[in-house]
Amino acid sequence: MTDFAATKAMFDLPQGITYLDGNSLGPLPRKAAARVAQAVSAEWGQMLIGGWNRAGWMDLPRRLGDRIAALIGAQAGHVVLGDTLSIKVYQALASALDMRPTRRVILSDTGNFPSDLYMAAGLCRTLGDGYVLNTVAPEDVAGAIDDRVAVLMLTEVDYRTGRRHDMAALTRAAHDAGALVIWDLAHSAGAFAVDLAGCGADFAVGCTYKYLNSGPGGPAFIYVAPRHADVARPALSGWLGHEAPFAFDLDYRAGAGIDRMRVGTPPVLQLAALEAALDVWDGVDLHDLRSASQALMDQYIAGVEAVCPDLILATPRAHDARGSQVSFRHPQAYAIMQAMIARGVVGDFRAPDVIRCGFTPLFIDAGDVARAVAVIGDIMQNRLWDNPAYHTRAKVT
């Protein structure tokens, strides 16, 4: 059994805070502070330009990619870190469209994270030539897959509701129709075991600052299935994706395999934080993680529903049908979340009416859930959200 008390002790959590927002920004792993300081002072400061070789900076995107591969069911050597999730979405999409040259439709759903849709729409506009992004309701995706679809692009877990798509079934359906599939694992990687290889996914992308705890602005990752890795065209063809970056040739030749998805100079300080954050996973069994997470969510749902009849559950009750977050709806969701934060229970509000909390056993235990339920119960039963201070919108929420 994974020792989650031990993993919790690996995080530097502020006193008096019950942090249920790791699905937005994971907390600080204690080792990350020292690891980043080492990257700054001992590596950058003392090795200077030599750090690219001597400190292994140049290999970090591949080395850490292998560690993430182990968490998402990807083959080693087929995941690389870099850029932001939106950029990686663009590369995966451009590659996939290139591999289905007679088709013009990108299919996605209205529950997808908007940035993925924006990047897709931007790519369609750049391509012209009839390319179009079609979105349907999440429950209508399977029925909307036809032979005009070049690529099905989905985020496995809905950032708002926590609803989880059936990766295996939808990948199979897309393949049956001759389409390729891109999975966005933003709310999956580190939340539960993903089985990219088993599902036959073509591409996957994800971020590291949520359940992988790499810190604000940590780099994204991209996976390309081995069968596509040497044919995919990266579209954003930067020098570190070149076959020989330091030959400084004038002509681009895509590097072998996943290396071609690298673009520019890797963000070494952010990668150092990620490296330390990944150490937390060394003793973690992903099946233990999933069952502990489900137990925390069940406890939270039962607790909230028992005391707050006005909060409407937006997340599926079925274990298989949800990720690692629970969302409730309420017209005063924004003010309720502000009241929660004022009482030390940190989740987040998502427009228009969602109170969203994430439940990872890495640093959340049953005592935290009980505390959160008590606070929410008090807020709802005593209408503590009905305070003008909680209705002023901050710039970013």
Which residues are annotated as catalytic? 113, 184, 209-210, 356
For a second copy, the closer CB: 126 or 381: 126
Number of residues that bind a second copy (CB under 8 A): 94
Rounded-to-integer distance, Cα 37 and Cα 34, Å: 5
Find the binding residues for a second copy in span 217-236 (CB under 8 A). 217-220, 233-236
Smallest gap from Cβ 193 to a second copy, in A, equals 25
- Work out whether 348 is an interface residue with a second copy (CB under 8 A): yes
Whose tokens are 């070494």? That residue is 268
DSSP state string for 228-239: TTTT---SS--G
Strands 149-155, 132-136: pairing is unpaired
- Who's near 130: CB < 8 A, 6+ residues apart? 104
- Work out whether 368 is an interface residue with a second copy (CB under 8 A): no
- Work out whether 397 is an interface residue with a second copy (CB under 8 A): yes
Find the binding residues for a second copy in span 82-111 (CB under 8 A). 83-87, 90, 94, 110
Exactly one of 103, 187, 350, 356 binds a second copy (CB under 8 A); that residue is 350
Considering only the stretches 12-20, 137-145, 192-200, 360-368, report the one whose residues sit in contact with a second copy under the rule CB under 8 A: 12-20
Give CA separation, 277 vs 14, 32, 217, in Å. 17, 6, 14
Rounded-to-integer distance, Cα 188 and Cα 182, Å: 14
Find the binding residues for a second copy in span 307-346 (CB under 8 A). 341, 346
Which phi and psi (to 5°) does residue 59 adopt? -90, -10
- Work out whether 14 is an interface residue with a second copy (CB under 8 A): yes
Exactly one of 1, 351, 367, 389 binds a second copy (CB under 8 A); that residue is 351
Beta-strand runs (E) in the chain:
18-19, 79-81, 105-109, 132-136, 149-155, 180-184, 203-207, 220-224, 312-313, 325-329, 345-346, 348-350, 354-358
x-or-dash string of contact with a second copy, 235-254, rule CB under 8 A = xxxxx-xx---xxxxxxx--
Peptide bond before residue 331 is cis, with ω within 30 degrees of 0 = no
Smallest gap from Cβ 105 to a second copy, in A, equals 17
Report the run of H or E that residue 195 belongs to, with start and end.
Answer: none
Exactly one of 18, 51, 105, 183 binds a second copy (CB under 8 A); that residue is 51
Residue 392: how many other CB atoms lie within 10 Å: 9
- Work out whether 273 is an interface residue with a second copy (CB under 8 A): yes
Find the binding residues for a second copy in span 142-171 (CB under 8 A). 160
- Work out whether 382 is an interface residue with a second copy (CB under 8 A): no
- Work out whether 119 is an interface residue with a second copy (CB under 8 A): yes
